[in-house]
Amino acid sequence: MSVYDVEPQKYIEELAKKLEAVPEFEMPLWASFVKTSVARKRPPVDSKFWHKRAASILRQAFLRGVIGVGKLRTRYGGRKKRGGKPEKFKKASGKIIRLILQQSEKAGLLQKAKGKKAGRELTKKGLELLNSIK
């Protein structure tokens, strides 16, 4: 079984449960008061939001190879409602994504890419963790 064989939502839930046991993935105090994007009206309500977002980011790193904050901001962005005017796409907040990437590096799951592409890629430990989910 690999990442491609499991339904994404179930996969992210299972990976989030495993990430809760990793001490590096700790939600900062300010994260419960901050919106995830300009396009959102309120901060996330889910108490396990931080671990789910971290799991989702690790899954994206697996699927895309080298990934950076800019690509992830676009991935997690959404449509901003502007009243009577047409909706516009807005990128997600970079601070949350950047901090999760840094926590993943400290945990040894991601590393800075060595090559032409700038960003981060999975390590062997990260690949083992992602492949252990069934």
Residue 19 included in any domain: yes
Q: Is the pLDDT of residue 48 over 80?
A: yes
Residue 1 included in any domain: no
Residue 29 included in any domain: yes
User: Where residue 66 falls among pLDDT bands split at 50, 70, 90?
Assistant: very high
Residue 20 included in any domain: yes
Residue 73 included in any domain: yes
Residue numbers of the domain that contains 110: 8-131
- Cα distance between residue 68 and residue 91, in whole Å: 14
Residue 100 included in any domain: yes
- Cα distance between residue 34 and residue 63, in whole Å: 28
Supply the pTM of this predicted model.
0.91
N-term to C-term CA, the chain: 6
Residue 78 included in any domain: yes
Residue 46's CATH number: 1.10.10.10
* Each residue's pLDDT tens digit, 78-119: 999 999 999 999 999 999 999 999 999 999 999 998 888 889
Q: Is the pLDDT of residue 2 over 80?
A: no
Residue 3 included in any domain: no
Overall number of domains in the chain: 1
